[in-house]
Amino acid sequence: MKNNITNSGFYIIRHSDTLPEERTILVSGIGRSGTTAAISCLYKGGLPQISSHLAQRTLDDWGIGTHFDNNDIGGLRREVVRRDQTSKVWGFKWHMVQTWSNKINLFRNPLLIVMYRDSVSISVRARRDDANYHNVQSLNKWMQDTALWNMQLTQAVTQEISCPTLLVSYEKLIGSPEKIVPVMLDFCGLPFSEEAIKAIQPSINAYTNSEPVVSPKWKAIE
């Protein structure tokens, strides 16, 4: 008898049977939700890494994200055009898609991967980082913030975003990368890759290091 309680750990919203030759892969989620793991496996799976402005440890793409944070539409358009001219398929990682979901239509045929992780893990980790850098916020406050962000995230991906979207459980990804990674690669139109599966490793320094992530020095394209 089939176990109806077991779940796959992923879900596709607005599924597309055919992928355009030209497309952009967007990886997002709440901070500390597993976005570094997701983009790492995609890069290992063949997604072109064309940005020269990646944070070394977390692979945040400041070449795109700075424009989000500054609400710089002109700068974002110029950077997107530059990358579109460089590669037919490219992608990036930036957190908190719910705060920039209205800008997704600036990307060419976007495909969105959104990572979800349990609120306790996110909050405990955030609280630890807070303590390490002397900006202490109570665990109770982090739990409240995470709950709010999750509500905003769900609203954005279900009601405000129109592109194909893959929802992925971080816990399932870490526990069974051999099952989840092929789904992620297929969703993006990338070939199966053992190296992409091997890229998913729990508790490596890139995921657990508490040093703050800062923007690399770079000059925006005028």
Query: What is the CB-side half-sphere exposure of residue 62 using CA atoms within 13 A?
Result: 15
- Of the spans 45-54, 93-102, 139-148, which averages the highest pLDDT? 93-102
Which residues, 6 or more positions from 18, have their beta carbon under 8 angstroms from its beta carbon?
none
The helix or strand, by DSSP H or E, that contains position 177, with its residue range, turns out to be helix 177-188
Q: Between 201 and 132, where is the model more confident? A: 201
Contact 220, 66 (CB under 8 A): yes
Q: Is residue 219 situated within a structural domain?
A: no
* 5-44 pLDDT, tens digit each: 678 999 999 988 899 999 999 999 999 999 999 999 999 9
Which of 120-129, 141-150, 184-193, 198-207 is least confident?
Answer: 198-207
Range 129-151 average pLDDT:
83
As a whole number, the mean pLDDT across the chain is: 89
Q: Three-state SS for 210?
A: coil
- Looking up residue 38, the CATH number of its domain turns out to be 3.40.50.300
Domain count, the chain: 1
The reply to whether 2 falls in a domain is: no
Structural domain includes residue 177 = yes
CA 108 to chain centroid: 17
Helix axes 177-188, 35-44, angle to 10 degrees: 70
- Residue 221's pLDDT is what? 37
Average pLDDT over residues 203-221: 52
Checking if the pLDDT of 214 tops 80, the result is no
Does 4 reside within a domain? no
| 58 burial type by CB count under 10 A (0-12 exposed, 13-18 middle, 19+ buried) | buried
Residue 93 has pLDDT above 80, yes or no: yes
Could you list the residue range(s) of the whole structural domain that residue 185 is in? 10-118+164-208
Helix ranges (H only) for 10-167 are 35-44, 62-70, 73-86, 119-132, 139-155
Whether 201 shows a pLDDT value over 80: the answer reads yes
- Establish if 85 belongs to a structural domain: yes
The DSSP output letter for 222 is -
Given pLDDT bands bounded at 50, 70 and 90, which one contains residue 219? very low
Residue 179 lies in a domain: yes
Q: Please determine, for residue 1, whether its predicted confidence score (pLDDT) is greater than 50.
A: no
Give the pLDDT of residue 134.
66
**pLDDT above 60 for 207:** no
3-class SS of residue 180:
helix
Calculate ∠ Cα 136-119-199, nearest 5°. Answer: 100
The answer to whether position 193 is within a domain reads yes
pLDDT at 211 over 70: no
pTM recorded for the entire structure: 0.88
As a whole number of angstroms, the distance between CA 194 and CA 20 comes to 25
Return phi, psi of residue 22, to 5°. Answer: -100, 125
The Cα 210–Cα 212 span in angstroms is 6
Structure tokens at 55: 């944070």
* Amino acid at site 114: V
- Whether 31 is in a domain gets the answer yes
Q: What is the pLDDT of residue 128?
A: 79
pLDDT-derived band at 192, boundaries 50, 70, 90: very high
